[in-house]
Structures are given as C-alpha cells and as structure tokens.
Structure 1
Amino acid sequence: MTSAETATLSGRDRAVLRAVAAGRCELGSGGWQPVLLIDGLACADSAAGHRLLAAGLINPPDPGRPLGPASITSLGWRALAR
C-alpha cells in the first residue's frame, strides 16, 4: 500500500486499526474472509478485516488456529502515525 492509499483510509478503518493496535481484537480464518472480533463481538463492518489485511496493515490470521489475537504490521503503525 502506498502512502497515498494509507492517507485515504476511512475513519472506520482507522478506528478498527486503532482497536487492533490496542490489543482489543481477535482474528479468525473461517470462510471466504477473515472474522474480526472487537472486544469479543463481531465487527459490524464485516469487510473491515479483509480490507486491512489486503492493505497489509494487519497480519493474517494463523491458519492453524480458529481464532487468535489480531496484530498490526509496521505499515499499519505508520498509517496510524499520519
């Protein structure tokens, strides 16, 4: 993802990324797109996890675990710092 693309993250995507950075999220690898839980509840924007993964802002889920902690990438940290 380029710096122009990270600058155009929606407010919702930034909020979800902040929640991941704060350690409040879990990510699962079930189905056609990842399942993202925030504070134990399914994210209302079911495509948010997919968008953040595709952009390289969060790490992919461990395929060996149905659910695990979500983690932010270095690119994700840089996007939050803008």
Structure 2
Amino acid sequence: MTSAGAATLNGRDRALLRAVATGRCTLGSGWQPVLLVDGLACTDSDAGHRLVAAGLINPPDPDHSHVPARITSLGWRSLAS
C-alpha cells in the first residue's frame, strides 16, 4: 500500500479501516504501531504500520501505551471511493 489512496487498499486493510472508523480499534505504541480490534491484537501484525505509513490513520501517541485509533481525512476519502 502507498499513500496514494484507495486504489492500493486490499480487502483486509479496507475492513480494518472501517473498524477504525467505527471506533472499534486502539493503537499501541512501540517499535511499530500495534492495532487492536475489539481489544484483541490484529493477526496481521503489519496492519497498523501499513495504515499509519499510508496516512490513513493517525500514528500512536508515544506517551501512551494504547490510544483510540483515529482515521484521517485521507482514510475517510479512501473508504468513500
């Protein structure tokens, strides 16, 4: 996935982005963002990193272990297309 947008989103990333949009996800900080869905670690351990790197969700706050994941305006546009 690149930051170019929805054309590069696969089905899993789109589903995870929808889960973030509905408030079901938290992000943990560490050497790479850890995405939790409904309190459980996403089995795709790179998903949080991909979505943050693409600018689709905000990066985690390094001062907090887990924060609510927040979709960006680019993420909203990607879901709409």
Partner residue, 1:34: 33
Instruction: Report the secondary structure of 1:56's partner residue.
Output: coil
RMSD: 0.8
Partner residue, 1:64: 63
- The structure 1 segments of at least 4 consecutive aligned residues displaced by more than 2 Å after TM superposition are none
Q: How far has the Cα of 1:7 moved from its partner?
A: 1.1
Identity percentage of aligned residues = 75
- Unpaired stretches in structure 1, ≥5 consecutive residues: none
- Unpaired stretches in structure 2, ≥5 consecutive residues: none
Please report the TM-score for the alignment, with normalisation by the length of structure 2.
0.93
Is 1:16 equivalent to 2:23 in the alignment?
no
Please report the TM-score for the alignment, with normalisation by the length of structure 1.
0.92
Q: How many residues align?
A: 79
